[in-house]
A and B are shown apart, each in its own frame.
Chain A
Amino acid sequence: MAKARVKAPKKAKAGDIVTIKTLITHKMESGRRKNKKTGEVIPRHIIDKFTAKFNGETFFSSDWHGAISANPYMSFSFKASKSGEFEFIWHDEKGEITSKKSKLVVA
């Protein structure tokens, strides 16, 4: 199970542009490496989709392909207008989903 870290502000003023940082543990196996002993190709296993939602509505998403490092870091901005809840979702190629929630209060 992948372990995720998210740094998102808890409070903001309406109209503020806030920065959100995310990090997840994942080996992001490229599918190009070989097992040194047997010579067999290690099958590809990466996170292929990342989505950030606010109150259930997607405001940021990205498709990931090969050549992204292990333990990928992703940072992006969000314009705060009302209070609500963030949800960050990482979709793994094997169907494993990791998600993390964080609340935002807009004063």
Chain B
Amino acid sequence: MKNVKSKRGWKLTSIALGSTLMVGAMAIEVIAKDWGSHEVDGRRSGYTYMTDETRAVQDDNFENPGMLWVENGEALWSKAGANGKSCASCHADPEKDMKGVMPAYPKFDKRTGKMISLEQMVNRELVEKMGEKAEKFDSKKMLSLMTYIGNISKGMPVNVKIDGPAKPFFEKGKAFYYQRRGQLDLACSNCHEDNPGKQIRANTLSEGQINGFPTYRLKWQKPGSVHRRFRGCNKNVRAKPYKAGSDEYVNLELFVKWHGRGLPVETPAVRN
């Protein structure tokens, strides 16, 4: 609740400050809009920061180019691996078995004693159960499987566990989020908590929610993983990015996912 109050407070002050300027009127208009399920307790999905045109592309299941990867993932599901087993050998009914998987990751993994992201889990299954090679986070196969698994949970609220054994990792992710870094000396929060809705050069800043990942980004012209996005953000503040799948990013993913708790899964979302 505290968080909500401070958010509201910030909005109100921004209106008060802006009321003498032209932007004041615009800010009020944006706040007044009802975003339905895309807004939960003042947290807004990146969807609400896009233009009407981009939103229309996401909403139309045919026009959404990310659906091509979803279809590909669906085909891969029953494709046998090196030892003759496929995903479908164990998860015969993905529409049921994989429902609720995307909103719950990253999870605490007892075996390694740390957090595991969904990509890493898919890789583990590929290597151990199917005798395949591990995939890179942004390979075609991985993105297809990820968008497919994510799309099954479309509309479900993001709900990650941050208590119990996940607690220390959540704290690490949180520390990462508020840590200033890079030559520009910016923390994630400086843009995504303090200034969402404002312009950063030609882009509109969003709250940095990751409920729509893997997201089809128009700039990338293909879907991309959360970690790719983290790398891009880190590069933009002139910091040396971590590797996709690094502990730092998995912990950060946990925190950012919690940051957008309750927002619906939108995979594959379309963003600019």
Contacts and interface: CB of A to CB of B under 8 A. Distances in A.
Interface stretch (B42-50, B61-69, B236-244, B248-256): B61-69
A70 interface: yes
B63 A23 contact: yes
Contacts of A69: 218, 221
B204 interface: no
A21 interface: yes
Contacts of B68: 3, 5, 23, 25, 71
B28 to A, nearest CB: 35
B74 to A, nearest CB: 12
Contacts of A73: 63, 65
A71 B221 contact: yes
A98 to B, nearest CB: 13
Interface of A is mostly: loop
Contacts, number: 27
B65 A71 contact: yes
B72 interface: yes
Most A C-beta atoms less than 10 A away, residue of B67, B68, B222: B68
Contacts of A25: 68
A73 B67 CA distance: 12
Interface string A1-26: 00101010000000000000101010
A3 B221 CA distance: 15
Contacts of B63: 21, 23, 73
Interface in A57-107: 69-71, 73
A23 B63 CA distance: 7
Contact size class for B? Answer: 10 to 19
Interface residues of A, number: 12
Interface in B115-163: none
Nearest to B63: A73
B65 A23 contact: yes
Contacts of A7: 62
Contacts of B62: 5, 7, 21, 23
A28 B218 CA distance: 13
Interface in B34-72: 62-63, 65, 67-68, 71-72
Nearest to A71: B65
Contact of B222 (A5, A23, A70): A70
Contacts of B72: 3
A7 B162 CA distance: 43
A71 B63 CA distance: 10
A70 B222 CA distance: 8
Nearest to B66: A71
B259 to A, nearest CB: 30
Interface of B: 62-63, 65, 67-68, 71-72, 218, 221-222
Nearest 10 pairs of A and B residues by beta carbon: A70-B221, A71-B65, A7-B62, A25-B68, A21-B62, A73-B63, A69-B221, A3-B68, A71-B68, A23-B65
Given A3-B71, A28-B221, A69-B221, 19 more contacts: A3-B68, A3-B72, A5-B62, A5-B67, A5-B71, A7-B62, A21-B62, A21-B63, A23-B62, A23-B65, A23-B68, A25-B68, A27-B221, A69-B218, A70-B221, A71-B65, A71-B68, A71-B222, A73-B65
Interface of A: 3, 5, 7, 21, 23, 25, 27-28, 69-71, 73
15 contacts: A3-B68, A3-B71, A5-B67, A5-B68, A7-B62, A21-B63, A23-B62, A23-B65, A23-B68, A25-B68, A27-B221, A69-B221, A70-B222, A71-B65, A73-B63
